Amino acid sequence: MTNRRRPAWQITPLIEDGGLFKREVRDVAVELVPVFWRNNRNDLLVTGLVPPGTEIEVVFAGRRTREAVSLVDRMKHLRRQGLRCADSGHEALNAVRQLRLAVQIRGTWRLRFERDDSGWEAKKYQLIAAQWAFHDLDGFRVVAGCPPAEPEPAQRLQERARAERARLAARRSRAAAPRDGV
């Protein structure tokens, strides 16, 4: 299969966000479980729960992955606390799954279908995070990420095109004008 991805140096925030945020961006309260991993694009994926207890994947993609470092550190600390309190390995695994970090995420939903063990296609919801907020160990609110980049409004594009046409016309008129002393 051919790789149709652009090289990383060609990806602008506008191109990246155009591919990620195709639907309406909304605020979602999520309880993140300190279980996370990376996919083949090196995006950060975290298991989360939304009311009424539905398990989802939260995706921190592209340039937002670097900004999620403080969130990952907070979840690692939460996981260490859970492992410290557990008596056995099995209990430790269950303890980690019971831990939660409340996070307010602004993002968009994406629906994926994955084949389960029995061969059936199962729905999996992913929340693509644009911005997120949580409380650090000192109780201070940490806000990270950035709103999705939006293309310039049509009116502003028209004004820029009009100004460029005026500059081009001025340049042409200067070039066509007779020169003194030549």
Structural domains counted in the chain: 1
> Would 175 be classed as within a structural domain?
no
CATH assignment of the domain containing 120: 2.40.50
In terms of pLDDT, which residue wins out, 165 or 95?
A: 165
Tell me the average pLDDT across 103-123: 90
> Would 6 be classed as within a structural domain?
no
Token code pair at residue 31: 């309880």
> Would 55 be classed as within a structural domain?
yes
The residue segments making up the domain with residue 69 are 12-151
pLDDT digits (tens, 9 = 90+) for 127-165: 999 999 999 888 899 999 888 887 766 666 777 788 888
pLDDT digits (tens, 9 = 90+) for 21-46: 888 889 999 999 988 899 888 889 99
pLDDT digits (tens, 9 = 90+) for 38-85: 988 888 999 999 988 888 999 998 888 999 999 999 999 988 887 777
Confidence (pLDDT) at 133: 95
Q: Is the pLDDT of residue 182 over 60?
A: no
% of the chain surpassing 70 pLDDT: 87
Residue at 175: amino acid letter? A
> Would 81 be classed as within a structural domain?
yes
Which of 8, 12, 25, 14 has its CA nearest to residue 131? 25
- Residue pair 30/58 in contact (Cβ under 8 Å)? The answer is yes
Tell me the average pLDDT across 79-102: 73
Confidence (pLDDT) at 153: 66
> Would 30 be classed as within a structural domain?
yes
Confidence (pLDDT) at 71: 92
In terms of pLDDT, which residue wins out, 98 or 126?
A: 126
> Would 180 be classed as within a structural domain?
no
In terms of pLDDT, which residue wins out, 182 or 58?
A: 58
Prediction pTM value: 0.73
Residues with Cβ < 8 Å from 128, sequence gap 6 or more?
20, 21, 59, 61, 107, 108, 109, 110
